[in-house]
Structure formats: structure tokens, C-alpha cells
Structure 1
Amino acid sequence: MYSESITNGESGPSATVSLVVPALNEARNIPWVFEQIPACVDEVILVDGDSSDATVPMARHCLPTVRFVRQEGPGKGSALRAGFLAAAGENVVMMDADGSMSPAEIPHYLHFLQNGYDFVKGSRFVEGGGSLDITPIRRMGNQVLLAAANRLYHASLTDLCYGFCAFRRSFLDQLDLHATGFEIEAEMIVHALRSGLRIAEVPSLELPRRNGRSNLHAISDGRRVLRTLLSERPGAHSLTASVRTAS
């Protein structure tokens, strides 16, 4: 457990929280996700990728106060960028709609934002974390991409391709997001590193998708992540980053 306590008024206990949830045909998973959202979340933004099922009506039924945002262009990255721009909270949390991430973990992420960190990312590979869903090929791909990220950015991350993150919305411009697909998760992390944001990793348990099939394609999306790591690597930009692992 990381024991240092750093207070920061901007992101203190009263900071408002927006939860951004990208979704495409997740009607059967939305109830499980929404019923577990903790009270510390002030607004929930569902970014719908033109679902052909009852994702939007189901979300409205489960949470009448949910805000809907339509993404422009396909891909998870396009959805998240639209949600981030619409978010009103001082702190923004992003998580998937498929039931693989537990909303009950959100307070743990917010704890580190409330104690001096700027960007908090989940890790399945630190003590207390894990995955009940990752396949051997995805695990191997994540390890290769993680090693590349740590080498290129002089970091000590333990997980890379995992989309449960939280950050201070005031740093959205520094994150400078342009990705349209699953590579946005890597883009967020390397831009946070490049900008010198204070980053914490917290343990997270990845659960199996509850219903349906994932839109992730390990080979093609892995190539997109690698291209992102190579194209965004420090060159003209100086890099000073410190990553701590917390449990």
C-alpha cells in the first residue's frame, strides 16, 4: 500500500465525478453495470456507438438521469473522446459497459486523485489485481507492448492495454487525444507520461464479459497500439515521469 498522503484542494473530497461509459450493443450488460455505480459518481455519460439493440432504452430504464452522447465516427477512441468533452465533473472515470470492470472499484481510483495524483490507471498485474478473462494471446501481446512502452518512455508500468482509468479533467488538453480505436488507452498513458503527470497504478480485477462478444481484435488492434507507441515516443519532447504502484 502506498502510504504517502498528498492533499490537493482542486481534487479534494468534494470534487465532482463523471463516469464515461462507451457502449455498442450492450443492452444485456448495462443493468449489471449501472446497478453497481457508487454514490460518489455525480453523472453517468453513456456514449452510444449507434447500437442496434436496446442499449439506450435499457440505460434510461436503469438510470433515468443518465446522459446520452452520440459519437462521431466509429471506434472506442471516438466514443471516449466524445464522452470526455461532454463530461462536467472535475474528475473523469472511464470504464467498459460489458461487465468486465466493476464500478465498485471506482472509489479506489478516486482516492488517489484526491491525494495528489493526476492520472490513475488500473492494473491486472499488481498484487490484488487479476484477470478472469484474458486469453494467452492477449496476455502475450500485452506483455510485448508493455515492454515496448516501458523502454520507449522510460517507465515502469505493469499493465498497458486496460481501459479502466481516471484522471483530472483539467488535464484533458495535455492528454491531447486523437485515437479512434482501442489504441486510445495506450495514447492516454503515453501522453500522460510525456506530459509529466503524476500517475498511480491500482489493482483491478478484470471479469469475464457477461454477455455478447468483444469488439477487440488482438492482432489488428495490437498493431494499432504499437504504431501509437512508436509515433508518440519522446523525441523533441523531454520526458520525466514517475510511476508508482499502489494497492
Structure 2
Amino acid sequence: MTMTSSKDWSAAQYLKFEAERTQPARDLLSRVPLTTPARIIDLGCGPANSTKVLSTRFPQARITGLDSSHDMIAKAKTVLPTSDFHVADLNTWTTDEKVDLFFSNAVFQWLKPDERIAVIKRLLAPQEKGTVFALQVPNNLSEPSHVLMGEAAAAGPWAAKLDGVQREGFQSPQELYDLVKPFAGEVHIFETSYYHSLESHEAVVEWVKGTGLRPFVDPLDEDEKRGFLEEYLRRLRGAYPVSVDGRVLLKYPRLFMVAVK
């Protein structure tokens, strides 16, 4: 979930929508062309929701989960106490082991654009033929949920603090293919848009508090945070209609890549 140095993440906040956040990991794993991998690294394992998916599919594999968040790793160890979890930074972590599958659920969007491919190459290129690198990232910066973060950031007394905090956009499918293909035998890319039925507009705020909203709220003091979230919620109400059952549909596009050495 995260593997770069930052203010610590909240496992409890992230897990408020565990089922919705885990479904993309299942969909990514369904496209991994391996039957009996012996060694798996879960890059950015978060609170072990993706690690559980991996261990259920490949119970014979030795799986290590890595995350930069101490809170996430502490939670992961309680979820899968017999598994191997470590605090690590994706920008510096490496391995000399033979790895069959590198798996990453919603992590690489937090790296700078030039770092993303460098990390993939550093990990995949030295491996033997047949090693798989599978990743999934949100592809939603053009969605109202994220556009409105920037608008709310610029609309209040907190504007100076929040200038430029939005994460950078991910590579396009064409860019990703062209950058990874030189050191991978196969590169498969696909996109999926999920439509999450959430209880209310407030639930949308709770969803993004666990991930995308963090760069906006972390720099603020409590009064600023309260004001910013009120402004953001006001804008969300104007952008997302209420469904016939009173709930709110949150569209959430995601980009997937499965590269085979």
C-alpha cells in the first residue's frame, strides 16, 4: 500500500473499505500466469489484505510483505502472524534472492514518475526468465474525487500550504509498455473502472482519507483540516448525485500491468 518514506499511515482508516480495496488485488492476481511460485514479495503489503489474497492462492509459497508504514506492518503481523513482514522503503530495498513474483497493490503511484520504472527494472531485470512483476495503481486523478481535492486546496486560507501536494499522474499505458518492454519478455496492460456504492458523500471523504486525501490533510493543523474537509465535502455533494437508494456511486479507475521476464 505504501513503500516510500512519509508520515505514517493508518491501517484502521485504510481498512474501513477493506473489501473494495482488496478486489483489485484479486483481479490483478487472476492475470498472473504462475501456478506454483515458490517465492513471492508483496511490495507495499499494507495491513496484509493483499498478502492474504496471495497466501490463499499460493499456500505453498514463501511470501514476504514489505511496507514503509510501521502501523501497517504491525497490523499485518496480527493478521498473518506466521508470515514474514518487514518495514522497508521501495526506493532503496533490493534482493539477491530468486523471486517468482513481485506483487504490488496500489503503491507505485506514490513514487515520482522517473523512480517507478527504475524500481521495476532494478527488481525484475536481474531475475531469471519467467519471473513476474504485477502491479496495480489508481488511475483517477481526472475523476471529480481528486480534481475537487485540488480545487478545495486552492479555495481557502490553507492554499499556500497545499500548493503542489497532489501526487503526479501515472504513466499512460503506452508509456508504461514502452518503458518496461526493453527488460521484459511480455508486458500485459489493462484498465478497470470500479463503481463503489458508498453510504454517503461523507463516506467518500472517509474513503479518500485513507489514501489520496492524505497529502492534503497531513500538512494542516486541526482547524485548517476541519475547514478544508468541509469545503471538499461541499464540492463532492455538487459532483456526485445521490442514487435511488440514497447511496453514492464512486467511480474508481485503476491501471494494471503484468510483466513477465
TM-score class, shorter: 0.3 to 0.5
Larger Rg: 2
Q: TM-score, normalised by structure 1?
A: 0.36
Identify, as 1 or 2, the structure richer in helix: 2
